[in-house]
Amino acid sequence: MKLNPSVIVLLAVSFGIPGFAQAAETPQPKLTLISNVNIFDGKTETLHKNKHVLVKGNLIETISSEPLAVIQTDNVTVINGGGRTLMPGLIEAHGHMAQNAPAVIVNSGQYWDEVGARLTERAEHYLDLGFTTVRDVGGWVFGLKKAIDQGIVPGPRIYAAGPAISQTSGHGDYRLPAEKNPFFGGLPDNPHPRQNVTQALGHVTLADGTDEVRKAVRENFSNGAAFIKLLGGGGVSSHSDPFESIQYTKEELAAAQKEASHFGTYVTVHAHMDEAINNALDAGITHFEHASILSDKTMERLGKAGAYICPQAYLFLQPPDKNPSWTDDIQRKKAQRAYEGVDHVFKNAKRYGIKVLWGTDVIGPHAVFEGMVFEWKYRAPYFTNADQLKQATSLNAEVLTQTTFLNPYAAGALGVIKEGAYADLLLIDGNPIEDILVMTKPRENFKIIMKDGVIYKNTVH
Say yes or no to pLDDT of 7 above 80: no
CATH placement of domain 5-89+413-458: 2.30.40.10
Residues 6+ apart with CB under 8 A from 204: 138, 163, 164, 165, 166, 172, 173, 174, 198, 231
pLDDT (mean) for 264-292:
98
Q: How far apart are CA 82 and CA 11, in angstroms?
A: 25
Say yes or no to pLDDT of 340 above 70: yes
- What's the order of all strands across the beta sheet hosting 204-206? 204-206, 164-166, 228-231, 267-273, 287-293, 308-310, 355-356
Residue 403: which pLDDT band, with cuts at 50, 70 and 90? Answer: very high
Q: Provide the greatest CA pair distance for the chain.
A: 79
Residues 6+ apart with CB under 8 A from 248: 167, 170, 213, 230, 231, 232, 279
The model's pLDDT over 341-383, given as tens digits with 9 standing for 90+, comes to 999 999 999 999 999 999 999 998 888 899 999 999 999 999 9
Say yes or no to pLDDT of 395 above 70: yes
- Taking the domains of the chain in order of start, what are their residue ranges? 5-89+413-458, 90-400
The model's pLDDT over 173-213, given as tens digits with 9 standing for 90+, comes to 877 666 666 555 554 444 443 444 455 557 899 999 999 99
pLDDT (mean) for 82-105:
89
C-alpha torsion sign, points 91, 93, 99, 102: negative
- Identify the CATH class of 90-400: alpha beta
Please provide the average confidence, as pLDDT, over all residues in the chain.
89
Q: What is the 3-state secondary structure (H, E, C) of 277-342?
A: HHHHHHCCCCEEEEEEECCHHHHHHHHHCCCEEECCHHHHCCCHHHCCCCCCHHHHHHHHHHHHHH
The model's pLDDT over 19-52, given as tens digits with 9 standing for 90+, comes to 434 444 567 889 999 999 999 999 999 999 999 9
Say yes or no to pLDDT of 2 above 60: no
What is the reported pLDDT for 194?
Answer: 40
The model's pLDDT over 283-322, given as tens digits with 9 standing for 90+, comes to 999 999 999 999 999 999 999 999 999 999 999 999 999 8
Q: What percent of the chain has pLDDT over 90?
A: 76
Amino acid at 4: N
Say yes or no to pLDDT of 445 above 70: yes
pLDDT (mean) for 124-146:
97
pLDDT (mean) for 10-23:
41
